[in-house]
Chains A and B, each alone.
Chain A
């Protein structure tokens, strides 16, 4: 057999295993697409609206009732209970009926009009972080607005124009521009990172699984032989068909993200299409590298899933990496996911020139070269396979 014959043999072996084992179909196509759909569909609202909250109104004055009405008109919150006192409201919160409440003390209006500075308070359950942030925004808006309403009435009686009154009330105005996501759409932020992360998890586990089964059933010697004793050829034959399928699935997921659910795509689509191909290769190579370092099916899979699961947290999209302990944030730099994420923030979200993302493309490419340094270990293991259950 000539070299092309061996290439054909290796590819055939890789393809046949994919066709005959349904777990590959589940891992390569079903799970990545289903999880992407799950996340996109779950957050298709963009912003969580109508957080159930309560109100305790001990004042029951025209002002406090207008606070109640204005609060209920905001889309962030939905007042679904009025409580007679603090204890009752707290009980409602503990029973999970509400996630926070607005507290108006007795004599609020009277004290406000006589200049005695009453305090209103908002009690928010910060165990639910996202809805807490939106509640805070709603409560703060209402308290600032009602403050302004009363003060403006006072100042009008003193003969000030509305413009003068506003300048006294709020001498400095701030404008916040959330670049490319002014709606603080949660889906735009979270799905940019979590969907590729799921794909990375499945790529790494599938790679580990397909090489691991050869080790497990002791067929790896035959596997190497069918590639003329070349581990590189054997690995390529096994993984290239998967690369193609994963690329196709990855591109379909990108299509779902950017064209069905319309996440921001401010760069040329080719930048992301290229990035996806490099991302698939980088993750396969990273998993291969782990398997070369630990040529054991179970331990290799354990390590792959550990790394992939941790990369959800450690890449720094929930807690930025500069805020972590330095010795932990370093770990974020060793997974391909981080570079794909930074790249998609740069390109898809911000649409800045390709020049500024050059290092991330290079990093993904570098992952592809990583396993070639360790391939000899896998070959040694394949020639003397020992299955440790």
Chain B
């Protein structure tokens, strides 16, 4: 009988916490901005920045010390690639270097004297490319263009010579590259799927931090009591909030993970149901992690300082930029402790590689493990840090009603008003 009564109380508490959290979210303009406006606007902004995928027509200068038909043809072929555009012929390397320093070009192609003579006489002709390394993408594109032209020229000449013997054209073994998932081989399709998942987690952390900061500020003004607190036990409080955040994120999640990729034509090879099943524990884990780390947030606005910078750290920990297999064990371990690491990689693998949930069951299980671990952590933080802190505030306020606010002013270097 007693047990049944406790269960009833538990669910009643859960419901009250859930309803109150819902009200707190919609009453707070800042939280609404984080939860909904940020999720709506950021994916679009990022997609627009990277939507062109790759750099084309990178400015390159030619220094032609050979001035032969062959070197001119080679230069024309480079110009014809989509990656590189030849903007100028320079008289010598000194002039080309000056143009590079003035940012008129990002690369120099040099044909040494005797380029054509060497090739015709049966030796190898040499071409040099000098690239600015400020942005690796320019280097990569220039290299790709030059290699393509080299192959084309070389294969043409080789075919003429060895056709006599081998009766074939081109290389002995042909090779071709097949890009999986990200067929455009561009930055947007590589980076954005990961960033999309991360936006969900980070906006949630920001919103939850702001809600907790708001709660503390209400206590400052009300002698340590929060008029919006429903007075539930620890477990239903944490769980009720988590369910509320999870529910609020359903629509933003569908928008961010499904409609944004459709709008910008990102890879969409995943099964929607698989992604949905993967996202359920991810959102819960994010909410519980948010409730854990909100212990670092005192004011509503200090959430900017404590949470915003973590977004990029988390991006790097997912391994989308610097691969995870090349990280030191320490950073791999840190990455393992963040829900986004597993969710981002799973989402990327599903959308680009077409993986199924069954193939990624390890990530899925780990995300549920995150839910469990962060649930325990959030409960501990609530029980051992938040509630004693509130009790202390009430104690101070009992002796002196203005003590809390005065302390706040004191910390802002205002000793008397």
Contact = CB atoms under 8 A, between A and B. Distances in A.
B122 to A, nearest CB: 5
B408 A172 contact: no
Contacts of A99: 323
Interface stretch (A42-50, A248-256, A271-279, A371-379): A42-50
A212 B301 contact: yes
B138 interface: yes
Given A26-B305, A128-B190, A320 B138 contact: yes
A166 B124 CA distance: 8
A66 interface: no
A219 to B, nearest CB: 5
Contacts of B345: 96
A69 B268 CA distance: 36
B331 A41 contact: yes
A335 interface: no
Interface residues of A, number: 133
B240 interface: no
Nearest to B180: A125
B316 A42 contact: yes
Contact of A323 (B52, B139, B348): B52
Contacts of A127: 180-182, 189-190, 193, 267, 320, 348-349, 352-353
B78 to A, nearest CB: 11
A198 B313 CA distance: 10
Contacts, number: 359
A108 interface: yes
> Chain A binding site: helix, strand, loop or mixed by DSSP?
helix
Contacts of A128: 190, 319-320, 323
Interface of B: 28-30, 33, 45-46, 48-52, 54-56, 58, 74, 101-102, 119, 122-140, 143, 146-147, 150, 153-154, 157-158, 161-162, 165-168, 170-183, 185, 187, 189-191, 193, 214, 267, 298-302, 304-306, 308-309, 311-313, 316, 319-323, 325-328, 331, 345, 348-349, 352-356, 359-360, 408-414, 417
14 contacts: A21-B411, A48-B323, A51-B323, A52-B325, A96-B349, A126-B352, A129-B190, A147-B172, A169-B154, A172-B125, A181-B133, A219-B412, A222-B414, A302-B30
Interface of A: 12-14, 16-17, 20-21, 23, 26-27, 31, 35, 38-39, 41-43, 45, 48-52, 91, 93-96, 99-100, 108, 112, 115-133, 136, 139-140, 143-144, 146-147, 150-151, 154-155, 158, 163-164, 166-181, 184, 186, 188-190, 194, 198, 201-202, 205-206, 208-209, 212-214, 216-217, 219, 222, 297-298, 301-302, 304-305, 308-310, 312-314, 316-320, 322-325, 328, 342, 345-346, 349-350, 352-353, 356, 388-389
